[in-house]
Amino acid sequence: MKEEDVEIAIKVVIVGNGAVGKSSMIQRYCKGIFTKDYKKTIGVDFLERQIQIKEEDVRLMLWDTAGQEEFDAITKSYYRGAQAGVVVFSTVDRASFEAIEKWKRKVEDEVDNIPLVLVQNKIDLVDEAVIAPEEAEALAKRLKLRFYRASVKENLNVDEVFLYLTDKYMQKLQSQEAEDNATTNPKIGIFNTTGPPLTSGSGDSKNTADESQTIKLRPTKQRTKGKKQPFKCLLL
């Protein structure tokens, strides 16, 4: 397999109350479109986009989860295995802002210690705002989350959210690789292919290994196979 045919895959979950713009956010990021029509997500929707960052091919798998309580049993199972997450509230919806801590806990109950960001959507509706700027900033600081003010309609800070999460995940991946390389026993994962087979019986027998013919197994990145492709989105 060629190096250029290798990509990093990152599962990102987008959570928050209904009607805060989660579906619109991933539609904007993956398809470059925006629609004013609101359609409630039933369970989970999925979109993906391939990008290149720091000369690495990255496939972002974006899971848009329903914000209504009746879908909790369905959506929580989709948090598992996530490697990054976005928690969203709306500038014009006080209840969505007050629910942020609940959504953060839901994600962390299933997948702990992943990069998370807090997004305040619909900042273009500033005249209808029901959350003061200092309130949002204080919440982000208290929850220790990176904070973005975004407008999916105006395509403001949408790309930045996902680029930040991608960069944070790649930093974490590189750190894990460095730690693995530092702690791996060089004798683990080595076997000989040229020595004589082991025999049983009364006589003594030994395996003699030629070091030049020894195969060494090393840890590899958490990656998936895939050919380089241009901008791509899938909808299930």
Q: Who has greater pLDDT, 187 or 127?
A: 127
Mean pLDDT estimate for the chain:
79
What's the pLDDT at 145?
Answer: 97
What's the pLDDT at 221?
Answer: 52
175-221, pLDDT tens digit by residue? Answer: 888 888 777 555 444 444 444 554 444 455 444 444 445 444 444 45
Provide, rounded to the nearest whole percent, the portion of the chain with pLDDT above 90. Answer: 53
Mean pLDDT of 15-41: 86
Written as one letter, the residue type at 50 is Q
What structural domains does the chain harbor? 3-173 (3.40.50.300)
CA dihedral (120, 126, 127, 131) positive or negative: positive
Closest CA to 14 of 135, 104, 91, 93: 104
What's the pLDDT at 176?
Answer: 84
35-82, pLDDT tens digit by residue? Answer: 776 565 555 788 999 999 888 899 999 998 875 555 566 667 788 899
CA distances in angstroms from 156 to 80, 124, 151, listed in the order given: 29, 9, 5
The Cα angle at residue 235 between residues 232 and 236, in degrees rounded to 5: 140
Backbone angles phi, psi at 130, to 5 degrees: -120, 5
Beta bridge partner(s), residue 5: none
Mean pLDDT of 154-164: 97
Lowest mean pLDDT among 8-22, 152-166, 211-225: 211-225
Mean pLDDT of 84-88: 97
Mean pLDDT of 129-153: 97
Provide, rounded to the nearest whole percent, the portion of the chain with pLDDT above 70. Answer: 68
pTM: 0.73
What's the pLDDT at 38?
Answer: 59
